[in-house]
Amino acid sequence: MTAPTILTFDPHTLAPETTALLPRLTDADAAVRRIALIELADLEDPDALQPIVAALKHDASPDVRSEAARVLGAWEERDIVEALCHALHDTDDNVREAAASSLSALKQASSGVVLCAWADDPAPFVKRAVLRALRELRYADAFAPALRALEHDDPNVRIEAVGVLGWLKDARALARLADIAVHDDNADIRRTAVGALGFAHTDDPATSPALLHALGDPAWQVREEAATTLGKLRAASARDALIAALVDAYWQVRLRAARALGQLGDRAAAQPLIALLTHAISNLRKEAALALGELRDPSSVNALRVALDDADPEVRKAVRIALQQIDDATR
């Protein structure tokens, strides 16, 4: 048994259905109090929020406070968002995680005002949770606190800050993101920064060198993300580097490089892609065929016709698509 919720509001202001549940919020059994919170939330009555917030702030049971944080995620009133932010400092890990989860589900831009006020909180967990919530909101005023958070010692804070800036797609962040993609000592952060650069202009002088550098990163996950981003940007200057990546030690990087070369549409990549049509890994053969279809280069027709007998049905399907694309282009 744990101490029950301390009611800090006037019960006489509540609807009868809500008032009827209040005695259970002061029950000595925490399980009874937790179920009462669920039933209060099911009422979908704004008046019922007061006792739920009180439970989040004052109940002695972490299970009850966690439940309160969870059910409050369906509401976005300013005082609810504020209470959830305060709960990020709770002494119990589960309560903090539940509050963070509810904050990450916020949808209204008005919640961004409250979140931004917490973005410079000194506690790393709080900063991470708030930045994650701001990322989901794509709240424009999150730009400044996210930029500041890039300097934080905690890599988990930095990765959330990079995520915010990537979603905001504010060109003022490009140079800083490019620097992180090259120099951060954490591979996950470099990978995230490389992906965040996907909103740059094609062959942007501030970002292209960083992306090309990332194709040679020690971590294959960073190289894979670099190939993906270069393809998304259709960066013509990356053609030779992407062709070189077709023989990367990791097939995942080769696959993304093949896909990117198809997106670039440069027929100079046709022969290196044809070489992949006989690779032992079927996913690579499939991706090479699809990329050749994007290039629409008649010189690849013979190799593709041979690949019509590939053992993998997905590869054969990709080959047929590619041959049709080339045929359509030559009519």
The CATH number that applies at residue 53 is 1.25.10.10
Domain assignment present for 178: no
Q: What is the pLDDT of residue 217?
A: 98
> Of 105, 125, 151, which marks where a domain is finished?
105
Round to the nearest angstrom and report the end-to-end CA distance of the chain. Answer: 80
323: its two tokens: 């041959």
> Of 79, 105, 131, which marks where a domain is finished?
105
Domain assignment present for 52: yes
Count the domains in the chain: 2
Backbone angles phi, psi at 11, to 5 degrees: -60, -25
Domain assignment present for 300: yes
Domain assignment present for 121: no
Q: What is the pLDDT of residue 190?
A: 98
Domain assignment present for 327: yes
The boundaries of the domain holding residue 321 are 270-331
Per-residue pLDDT of the chain (331 residues; tens, 9 = 90+): 355 554 555 566 666 777 787 888 888 999 999 999 999 888 887 877 888 999 999 999 999 999 999 999 988 899 999 999 999 999 999 999 999 999 999 999 889 999 999 999 999 999 999 999 999 898 999 999 999 999 999 999 999 999 999 999 999 999 999 999 999 999 999 999 999 999 998 878 889 999 999 999 999 999 999 999 999 999 999 999 999 999 999 999 999 999 999 999 999 999 999 999 999 999 999 999 999 999 999 999 999 999 999 999 999 999 999 999 999 988 7
> Of 88, 105, 122, which marks where a domain is finished?
105
- pTM listed for this prediction: 0.86
Integer Cα distance of 12 and 242 in angstroms: 69
Domain assignment present for 294: yes
Q: What is the pLDDT of residue 279?
A: 95
Domain assignment present for 67: yes
Domain assignment present for 285: yes
